[in-house]
Amino acid sequence: MSRYNKIHRILDIFYMGINDKYFSTQELSYKYDVSKKTVSRDINEIRSFLSEYRDIIGNVDIVYDRKRKKYHMNIMINQL
């Protein structure tokens, strides 16, 4: 059984993102003792949150970096 519950796990992943950390589903599944599919669902929930509150938060998303084979949070700055 994981020492992290779902809310704590999602907030921890979100915190890694805003601190410009890169992470993989493999690393996170090991850290939280859950499946990679569970981690993918968590990342999708964070993406949904970021999309739903885009007008408040701005253009922020979790994206996959194919070169590193890891996810990270991308902040897109609007240019006038």
Q: What's the pLDDT at 77?
A: 67
CATH architecture observed for domain 6-76: Orthogonal Bundle (1.10)
| 33, 45 contact by CB (below 8 A) | no
Q: Crossing angle for the helix pair 36-52 and 25-32, nearest 10 degrees?
A: 110
HSE value, Cβ hemisphere, 13 Å, CA-based, for 50: 21
If one counts every other C-beta atom within 10 angstroms of the C-beta of residue 69, the result is 11
**Contact by Cβ (8 Å): 62, 74:** yes
- Per-residue pLDDT of the chain (80 residues), as tens digits, is 456 689 999 999 999 999 999 999 999 999 999 999 999 999 999 999 999 999 988 899 999 999 999 999 998 765 44
What's residue 57's pLDDT?
A: 86
